[in-house]
Amino acid sequence: MQDFEKLRVWVEAHQLALEIYRVTRSFPREERFGLTAQLRDAARSVPANIAEGSAASRPTDFAHSVNISEKEAAEVLNHLIIARDLTYLAVDVVEALRDRVNRLRRSLMIFRHCILHPTSARR
């Protein structure tokens, strides 16, 4: 079992989720149960799955949870693109968030690899 709050990927994911909450405050009221909820749910799921996986008894289970976080991060990116195209978010805001999401996705992929192959991570 790991202390998930000390994991760099969890910290990055948590910070991204907080930022998503901030930027979606300005979304139209009619999106409260639509895009706002979907984007927030996906962003909140990224760190939540890391936290859940950290309590797994087997590395493969932890890696599976991290993989789900990767998928949720991809969903966040999709929803950000929709928000940009609907002009709910400015292009520069979405591009900055896209960079954060893509960095996080790479970090998650590397972290998952390290969970599954701990000896190769030490080289």
Per-residue pLDDT, 102: 98
* pTM attached to this predicted model: 0.93
User: CA gyration radius for the chain?
Assistant: 15
CB atoms within 10 A of CB 117: 12
Q: What confidence score (pLDDT) does residue 1 get? A: 58
Average confidence (pLDDT) over 80-95: 98
Domain annotation for the chain: domains and CATH numbers: 4-121 (1.20.1440.60)
Instruction: Detail the DSSP E strand segments found in 11-85.
Output: none
Residue 121: its pLDDT value, please?
Answer: 58
Do residues 32 and 10 touch, judged by C-beta distance below 8 A? no
Distances (CA, A) of 54 to 10, 63, 71, 75: 10, 9, 17, 22
Dump pLDDT digits (tens) for 54-72. 999 999 999 999 999 999 9
